[in-house]
Amino acid sequence: MIFYSLPEVLFLLAGAIVLDWLIGDPRWLPHPVIFIGKWIGYWERRLLPRTTKRRNGILLTLIITSSSLALVWILTAAASWVHPWFGYAVHLWLISTTIAIKGLKDAAMLVYDRLSRGELTEARKYTGYIVGRDTDELDEAELSRATVETVAENTVDAVISPLFFAFLGAAPLAMLYRAVNTLDSMVGYRNDKYIHFGWASARLDDVLNWLPARLTGLMLIIVSAIYRPASAIQAWRSVIAFAHLHPSPNSGIPEAAVAGSLGIQLGGLNRYGGAISERARLGWAARKIEKVDIIHTIRLLYGVSYLVMGGLLCAACGWLL
């Protein structure tokens, strides 16, 4: 791996955040996650039909993570060999592709804009792009809840976790995390098809997100204290009271923090492929969920990214001074 000094890593992370703020993931630029998804699909078609589901799922996880790590290591090493600044640029771009602050905001705003125009059918369509549940019959409040939950949960998956692993190992480790997260999103389901085959991917994703999820919960509480001091106490109480009720060991923390901060209740009845699922209810229903809560959650998302940026720049400047 190409080793950088601490100030270099900090400035790389700050630069990646700025790049994501500005351009996000433009469609004209090839995205590594697309290639990871195709690579997962290639091996899934070959391994899933076999009878030893769990063993082959472990093999799938090993193949995808090791190849993603090795390829990015080779790419960044070659770029740094050509010229150090070229190495910086490749690291910067690759790290920025593992985070999705602007992408999350844009996807959530597509739902909000359609709800604001009263275009419920279109809002259901765009919500369906970002959640796994059935959206065909959801009303405005349920569409808003689904979007808020997605933005809250992905503040971990698409922001803090990849930055955390980029801090530990620059682009190679950030891409390894993104490969694991993509595996989980493709095969980490608890249904008849994937419950054994996706076991390793889902468990590894839980392990990698464990610390970043708790850091995210703390950051959401701090951001809530900056925006509305009283809401920070509710966010903290909500995490303590409800986060452990979520079926995921990690997702309940950011969702409970956002629910407490906004004074709403997340969770409830969801429908997946026609089957009804009761999700743990997080937070206190001080009021009904409204479409404006999407805006509030985006504000918390960006607040977390500003907090991280401030910490990176202060740490870098302090080290240099």
- Which comes out higher in pLDDT, residue 42 or 320? 42
Looking at residues 138-153, what average pLDDT do you find?
A: 96
- Which comes out higher in pLDDT, residue 144 or 318? 144
Structure confidence at residue 229 as a pLDDT band (50, 70, 90): confident
Structure confidence at residue 189 as a pLDDT band (50, 70, 90): confident
Can you give the pTM of this predicted structure? 0.94
Looking at residues 4-20, what average pLDDT do you find?
A: 91
Predicted confidence at residue 29, as pLDDT, reads 80
Predicted confidence at residue 1, as pLDDT, reads 43
Q: What is the DSSP string of 224-282?
A: HHHH-HHHHHHHHHHHHHHGGGSSSTTTHHHHHHHHHHHT--EEEEEEETTEEEEEEEE
Predicted confidence at residue 275, as pLDDT, reads 79
Looking at residues 163-188, what average pLDDT do you find?
A: 95
Instruction: Please report, in angstroms and rounded to a whole number, the separation of the first and last CA atoms in the chain.
Output: 27
Contact 250, 210 (CB under 8 A): yes
Predicted confidence at residue 7, as pLDDT, reads 84
Predicted confidence at residue 210, as pLDDT, reads 98
Burial class (CB in 10 A: 0-12, 13-18, 19+), 274: exposed
Nearest to 4 by CA among 212, 175, 168: 168
Give CA–CA dist 140/55, Å, rounded.
43
Looking at residues 71-91, what average pLDDT do you find?
A: 94
Q: What percent of the chain clears pLDDT 70, i.e. is strictly above it?
A: 98
Predicted confidence at residue 253, as pLDDT, reads 97
Tokens 């407490």 label which residue? 260
User: Looking at the predicted structure, is the pLDDT value of residue 2 above 70?
Assistant: no
Looking at residues 125-137, what average pLDDT do you find?
A: 92
The pLDDT mean for the chain works out to 93
Contact 298, 14 (CB under 8 A): no
Nearest to 189 by CA among 127, 275, 120, 121: 275
Q: What percent of the chain clears pLDDT 90, i.e. is strictly above it?
A: 80
Looking at residues 89-94, what average pLDDT do you find?
A: 95
